[in-house]
Structure 1
Amino acid sequence: MLVLAALFVAVSLVASRLFAPNHPTPEKLEPYECGIEPETDARDRYSIRFYLVAMLFVIFDVETVFMFPWAVIMDELALFGLIEMIVFLFILVVGYVYAWRKGALEWV
């Protein structure tokens, strides 16, 4: 049965390649930007600082993901849960200070 499924997929791909219309035009080769002609090359490189900001966003977004459930069951966790969250937030603040001192948050 698995061989039959693989054969069906292979035949479908080959048939699609053989019988599909192929009319390349310059418009089809351009990147799509909401119907507007692109002003610059679509393959321009972004500054690495955008990735650093994105990573910091992900880190602090994960903080939020952990804090909302903690806030919901805070009464059940009592003092242990409070101490655990304080340690977690302390580690995040240390990471934030480290990123700040390394210059990851400064834009030139």
Structure 2
Amino acid sequence: MYVSIWSIGVSIMVSVMLMMMCLFISKTSKKDREKMSPFECGFDPKSSARTPFSIQFFLIAVLFLIFDIEIAIMLPIIITMKWSLTSTWILTIMMFIIILIIGLYHEWNNGVLEWAK
């Protein structure tokens, strides 16, 4: 009984000591120059977050997500080739790729992929 109480007490003390050490170690200046500089996105962190931005960034990000998800869907389909009929498998893959190509063609015709207008 005493051993379990002692081990719980020691683990709580070690946890509290580690949290206190992390708190003291991580103290930094609030006016750190690196944290106040723009990071990758190019937006100024001191200005309002509600400023307008180019819709082209958003459209390219959506296109990236669509094709990223396509890869995630294609990998299991390739693995299931062993267990399905070849004709059914080829039909499924072809329909999937045709739908993606039609979507890409539609976006291309609408001018989504043109950066400068």
Please give the TM-score of this superposition, normalised by the length of structure 2: 0.57
Q: CA RMSD in A?
A: 2.6
Paired amino acid for 1:106: E
How far off its partner does 1:41 sit? Answer: 3.3
Residue segments in structure 1 that go unaligned for 5+ positions in a row: 1-26
Deviation at 1:75, TM superposition (A): 2.0
Residue in 2 aligned with 1:98? 106
Which one-letter code corresponds to 2:34 in the other structure? C
- Stretches of structure 2 that go unaligned for 5 or more consecutive residues are 1-28
| Number of residue equivalences | 80
- The structure 1 segments of at least 4 consecutive aligned residues displaced by more than 6 Å after TM superposition are none
User: 2:53: which partner in 1?
Assistant: 46
1:72 Cα offset (Å): 1.2
**What is the aligned counterpart of 1:73 among 46, 70, 80?**
80
Greater relative contact order (CA < 8 Å, ≥ 6 in sequence): 1
| Per-residue deviation, 1:95 | 0.1
Correspondence for 1:88 among 78, 90, 96: 96
Residue identity opposite 2:59 in structure 1: L
Q: How far has the Cα of 1:33 moved from its partner?
A: 6.8
The answer for the alignment partner of 2:34 in structure 1 is 34
Q: Secondary structure at the match of 1:73?
A: helix
